[in-house]
Amino acid sequence: MKISAENRTVLLSLIERFPLQRVVMLGDLVADEFIHGEIARVSREAPVLILRQKTKHIVPGGGANAANNLADLGARVDLIGVVGEDEPGDALCSYFAAKRVSTRRVRRVRGYTTPTKSRVLGGLGHGHLQQIVRVDREPNERLSLRFRRELTRAALASLSPATAVLVSDYGYGAADASEVRRLEHSVKRRMPLTVDSRYDILSYNGATASTPNEQELEAAFRRRIDDNVQLLHRLATLLLKRSGLEALLVTRGREGMVLYEPHRKPAPLSIFGTDQVADVTGAGDTVIAAFTLALAAGASFLHAAMVANCAGGLVVMKSGTATVSAREIEEAIRNS
């Protein structure tokens, strides 16, 4: 993505306003666990590798990763969600406490399993680590309607000082379309309300914008897009109209992004930086965090998409679930 001098000035001024923004982040809080080890030998019990564990750490994933990106971009974050009374839940709360992100509106629920994605990576000696397996630990059932309504009330109570609302729906029940309608009614377009829904994007109506990836768009309409750009445009335009969105930003991996707005031609954005990707884990969370924060700072949808494209291009060059800072984006824009 090339950035003109005029756009560069606008983008840099937006980033300067990031610390003035306060974002309510409502959604599914996920723990991303990384286990690193050295391949020792092949097991005698079965034809599998034995890994000698070296390190283990837990970082925010899912909606928690979106909140983590917001914080590292300089915003104040009101974090709203649920974790269990377990090790991953403790780790997430401790992580955010160390970053001075308040968790007072994060419910600790006995018997609830904090959604956890454990990635086991191994290598030989000092060689490059490769992911060997991923183990997911999930709640036995979605959160009840009572808990969802408690979270919605907490979000509503946080709206007064906020400049944007971000909803991250990973399917675990902390947010759903019916409860978000109550938020939309209260926001009344006073501030941007963005939605990132992994499995249910067709159910969300009336939000400001959404940032699905191409695979999520395919799943929603049960159509394969592949390289059919015209089909991509048709499906995106249909989602835009059906959901009453003001903008739709579809991410396409190495193909970059496409921004859709009513009554405007699609605006494709080529990938920012190199297409030699290190890790795409959590990149969508970075994109919606940067997009939302730019809108909160007063960006047009196109300029917000440019900021998000830059953030996404930077974060995929990092290993694991990562974030980008406002300074990194600023330097990248200056050097683009």
- Is residue 72 over pLDDT 70? yes
Give the pLDDT confidence of 102-143 residue by residue, as tens digits.
999 999 999 999 999 999 999 887 778 889 999 999 998 888
8 A C-beta contact, residue 245 and residue 192:
no
Domains of the chain: 5-30+61-113+140-335 (3.40.1190.20)
Burial 121-153 (b: 16+ CB within 10 A, else e): bbbeeeeebeebeeeeeebeeebeeebbebbbe
User: Mean per-residue pLDDT for 194-204?
Assistant: 93
Instruction: Give the C-alpha separation, 302 to 8, whole Å.
Output: 13
Report the pLDDT value the prediction gives residue 275, as an integer from 0 to 100.
Answer: 62
Which one from 28, 72, 176, 285 is the annotated catalytic residue?
A: 285
- Is residue 167 over pLDDT 80? yes
Report the pLDDT value the prediction gives residue 278, as an integer from 0 to 100.
Answer: 61
pTM of the model: 0.93
CA dihedral 233, 236, 239, 240 (to 10 degrees): -90
Asked about 285 being catalytic, the answer comes back as yes
What integer best gives the mean pLDDT of the chain?
A: 92
Report the pLDDT value the prediction gives residue 142, as an integer from 0 to 100.
Answer: 83
Give the pLDDT confidence of 32-57 residue by residue, as tens digits.
999 999 998 999 999 988 999 999 99
Cα angle 296-302-306, degrees, rounded to a multiple of 5 = 85
